[in-house]
Chains A and B, each alone.
Chain A
């Protein structure tokens, strides 16, 4: 399945080399948010699915899910 990933705050430049330039990540059916974070190698970041923050790493992802990845410190 394809997960559409938006990386905020310049995180795009931190993607592993094999994922550079990609906005969608291919994952096997039944993959979870933890699997995505592992693929991105960004387990310390904050994730949102469908526009709202998601803290359950075991949450199953679905094809075409929209996932945002953020740093935690914000604003000022």
Chain B
């Protein structure tokens, strides 16, 4: 058995009801690192161009990383990929929890799922074995009910369950995959792909012990982690108050999307912040396997007579913002219930919250009325309307059926000028970080292969003057040694975007958490990370090799999109961004000129070594990364 990983990948053909195991050579692991890059290898080999993402021909991959399961913070991640039913481009979503490490302990590094089961099924993986079982009794049930039932059926409370909710069964294009009932592979509709295959859940349990090449390094790094947690205030605040810790600073900088991005400051920000959550509804801090940061929230409260229970965790920053300020809702109890509904039904909180906010703007402007919504006053700030609509989306009932398709398809159904209110790139709703002050987001949102994403590069404040010395020390390790003036946009900011995109792309391949391993404020820096990867695997891996894996993944994604007909014409910001922001604060009046954005994208494509006309890699570029087998 190799160090830190199993050397075993599980293949599943749901149409045939078969499973088999592949044992790839070490070189395969070294080429991809695991995670998203490894999944893309199978997708690019097997998925024909132009298929319907919800057809049996789509391939769904679930991969953990080479260091997943090691005794260190920030390693228990699962990366899910398939063609996205939301965007038609590559789909990609990551989640933490305990399921990823448990899959490793059960003897596998990843799962490749093909075909479609004739009836609802679930996959039971335990100690090196895998079997498909009937899931007829689980179909239609909420995630919490399914988790409880599977633990009862399998007579083991310690199994970990990754599953879809009713939204995924009903093929909502903003359906997510959930593990632990509250850790979501949220983006790009991966839950709908799993639903289209009639695969309800993947339950895992294992007792295999993973071997590290140099265990002493893990002891040393654990000590360093404890010291850094106290010394670096950014990661300390994240641990203590969760990701929603960021609400007040987003508001102060004018980057808290408010009322569907009409404004960048929200008058109700204080009542939805992480600190307020800590002081009111927080029951406990939670963690992923082996992580000392403990940024996950568990809340307990009620809203409008409905209890919010600990099983469904608590809202992250993205959920607080998309359900909160994005919708003009300042009620943390309602947001907690919105989070619970999404986790019960398996809806992506970003996609769902942003889609409701879009519908609210349509309602406010008379494009839809109570007749359409079934009597719901879908106005900004109406917390009851938010939670009612989310439940209708989860069940695909009434107007919720239209919104469950995501905002772009809903805009087509609504017609008139509804598309003016969209905050989407490549059909995927934007998360709750605004490029109006963090300017490099205007590049990453446009060029990212799976749509606007806030976790695909390091944000501007960590490469702007005035920050902590540790930001700059770590950034310099990846060649970023010229911190820029706050709020600036220039070639160096494009370099920040591209270089840190490669870094984050590699994190999503090796399966490392971006709050723990990173190039600036995180618990560990790039040097610690390479030391950890060497100690886990015994490989003589370097930072250059790590970045190369990130570049490989990025080019694989872009190549997939090229095969689907995507080019730079799809790399555009929402139309609404070209209008000045309303409201108060430092971003009031700020807007984006599409021509200027196109010029910065030219710089980005040049840095990536891609064709300036198409914005895509050519055969030569792919060959330079060992990807000459990809047919464009």
A74 and B241 in contact, given A44-B467, A44-B469, A46-B461 (Cβ under 8 angstroms): no
CB-CB under 8 A from A72, the residues of chain B are 234, 249, 461-462, 467-468, 471, 521
The one of B237, B318, B585 that contacts A8, using a Cβ cutoff of 8 Å: B237
CB-CB under 8 A from A70, the residues of chain B are 248-249, 252
The binding surface of chain A is classed by DSSP as: loop
A75 x B318 contact (CB < 8 A):
yes
B252 x A52 contact (CB < 8 A):
yes
A8 x B248 contact (CB < 8 A):
yes
* Residue from A48, A72, A74 whose CB has the most chain B CB atoms within 10 Å: A74
Closest to B520 in A: A73
CA distance A52 to B249 in the complex (A): 9
CA distance A49 to B461 in the complex (A): 18
B317 x A75 contact (CB < 8 A):
yes
Decide if B147 is an interface residue (CB 8 Å cutoff).
no
How far does the Cβ of B7 sit from chain A's closest Cβ, in whole Å?
32
The binding surface of chain B is classed by DSSP as: helix
How far does the Cβ of B201 sit from chain A's closest Cβ, in whole Å?
27
Over the window 18-58 of chain A, the binary record of Cβ atoms lying under 8 Å from chain B Cβ atoms (1 yes, 0 no) is: 00000000000000000000000000111010011101000
B252 x A76 contact (CB < 8 A):
no
A75 and B234 in contact, given A48-B252, A52-B584 (Cβ under 8 angstroms): no
Decide if A17 is an interface residue (CB 8 Å cutoff).
no
Interface of chain B residues 413 through 435 with chain A (CB within 8 A): 432-433
B237 x A52 contact (CB < 8 A):
no
CA distance A14 to B454 in the complex (A): 29
Q: How large is the interface on B (under 10, 10 to 19, 20 to 34, 35 or more residues)?
A: 35 or more
Decide if B246 is an interface residue (CB 8 Å cutoff).
yes
CA distance A46 to B254 in the complex (A): 13
* Residue from A10, A48, A68, A72 whose CB has the most chain B CB atoms within 10 Å: A72
How far does the Cβ of B362 sit from chain A's closest Cβ, in whole Å?
27
Decide if B340 is an interface residue (CB 8 Å cutoff).
no
CA distance A48 to B233 in the complex (A): 17
CB-CB under 8 A from A48, the residues of chain B are 249, 252
Decide if B49 is an interface residue (CB 8 Å cutoff).
no
Decide if B163 is an interface residue (CB 8 Å cutoff).
no
CA distance A9 to B244 in the complex (A): 10
A52 and B245 in contact, given A11-B237, A72-B234, A75-B318 (Cβ under 8 angstroms): no
Q: How large is the interface on A (under 10, 10 to 19, 20 to 34, 35 or more residues)?
A: 20 to 34
A9 and B245 in contact, given A55-B486, A73-B238, A73-B521 (Cβ under 8 angstroms): yes
CA distance A51 to B244 in the complex (A): 18
How far does the Cβ of A49 sit from chain B's closest Cβ, in whole Å?
9
A74 x B249 contact (CB < 8 A):
yes
CB-CB under 8 A from A71, the residues of chain B are 233-234, 237, 249, 521
A9 and B467 in contact, given A46-B249, A72-B521, A73-B461 (Cβ under 8 angstroms): no
Decide if B240 is an interface residue (CB 8 Å cutoff).
yes
CB-CB under 8 A from B265, the residues of chain A are 51-52
CB-CB under 8 A from B247, the residues of chain A are 75
CA distance A11 to B230 in the complex (A): 11
CA distance A75 to B432 in the complex (A): 9
A73 x B236 contact (CB < 8 A):
no
CB-CB under 8 A from B318, the residues of chain A are 75-76
How far does the Cβ of A43 sit from chain B's closest Cβ, in whole Å?
8
CA distance A70 to B241 in the complex (A): 13
Closest to B588 in A: A52
How far does the Cβ of A44 sit from chain B's closest Cβ, in whole Å?
5
CA distance A9 to B247 in the complex (A): 10
CB-CB under 8 A from B461, the residues of chain A are 46, 72-74
Contacts from B to A (Cβ < 8 Å): 233-238, 240-241, 243-254, 265, 275, 295, 316-318, 321, 432-433, 454-455, 459, 461-462, 466-469, 471, 486, 514-515, 520-521, 584-586
Contacts A52-B265, A53-B586 known; 11 new A-B pairs at CB < 8 A: A44-B466, A68-B252, A70-B252, A71-B521, A72-B461, A73-B520, A74-B250, A74-B459, A76-B238, A76-B243, A76-B295
